[in-house]
């Protein structure tokens, strides 16, 4: 969903860029392009700002999302000294906005993953306790969630027992048990 919103924003900014650039010819004469900006007889057009804004936002979002996943906040863009002033102004503005959005999205995603992991762990513990001998205490280790499936290992903390796999599936009513035991095979994607 967040990537879709980002795509729509970038598409809208690109459309504005195209509309604001006109027909391409300048009153001053020649147009030169060097990949980052458009040069018109040593002057730079407003379009350079727009291009910088779009480029900065995209790169800022990616860096912000990466940093948010590592909980490392550093919104400083890397600037090339060969870029023109208009491009740099647009790039810096776009980068800051993109970085904030990307960082926020990553933190939100991590928070929702933690919430879902806690929900899965609680459902696993409830199921294991319902199907184990009375008085045994368990904790769930190595929980991995992939889509609507989750796998973990139930470790008995009150006695020395084998640690069975617990396989859960998410449905319309929440997480429900699919399989439980020491003789079952976990899905191929489960790394433990």
d(C-alpha 29, C-alpha 38), whole Å: 13
Write out pLDDT tens, residues 132-141: 888 899 999 9
Report the predicted TM-score, pTM, of the whole model to 2 decimal places. Answer: 0.47
pLDDT at residue 32 is higher than 50: no
Domain membership of residue 116 (yes or no) is: no
Domain identity same for 45 and 8: yes
Domain final residue pick, 111, 143, 169: 111
Domain identity same for 10 and 87: yes
Domain identity same for 22 and 87: yes
Domain identity same for 168 and 104: no
Domain identity same for 67 and 158: no
Domain identity same for 79 and 160: no
Predicted pLDDT of residue 25: 43
If you average pLDDT over each of 12-16, 40-44, 118-122, which comes out highest?
118-122
User: What is the domain count for the chain?
Assistant: 2
Domain identity same for 65 and 99: yes
Domain identity same for 73 and 30: yes
CA distances from 168 to 143, 146, 183 (A): 10, 11, 16
Containing domain of residue 163, as a range? 131-181
Predicted pLDDT of residue 2: 65
More confident residue, 141 or 13: 141
Domain identity same for 94 and 135: no
Domain membership of residue 161 (yes or no) is: yes
Write out pLDDT tens, residues 45-102: 458 899 999 999 999 999 999 998 888 888 889 888 889 898 999 999 999 999 999 9
């Amino acid at each position: 969903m967040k990537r879709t919103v980002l795509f729509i924003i970038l598409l809208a900014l690109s459309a504005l860029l195209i509309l604001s650039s006109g027909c391409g010819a300048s009153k001053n004469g020649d147009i030169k392009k060097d990949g980052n900006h458009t040069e018109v007889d040593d002057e730079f057009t407003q379009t350079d700002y727009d291009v910088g804004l779009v480029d900065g936002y995209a790169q800022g979002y990616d860096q912000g999302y990466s940093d948010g996943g590592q909980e490392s906040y550093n919104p400083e863009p890397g600037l090339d000294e060969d870029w023109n002033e208009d491009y740099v102004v647009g790039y810096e503005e776009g980068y800051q906005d993109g970085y904030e959005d990307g960082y926020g999205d990553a933190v939100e995603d991590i928070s929702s993953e933690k919430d879902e992991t806690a929900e899965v762990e609680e459902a696993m513990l409830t199921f294991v306790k319902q199907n184990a001998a009375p008085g045994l205490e368990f904790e769930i280790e190595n929980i991995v969630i992939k889509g609507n499936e989750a796998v973990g290992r139930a470790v008995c903390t009150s006695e020395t027992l084998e640690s069975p796999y617990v396989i859960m599936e998410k449905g319309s009513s929440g997480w429900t048990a699919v399989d439980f035991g020491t003789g079952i095979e976990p899905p191929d994607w489960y790394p433990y």
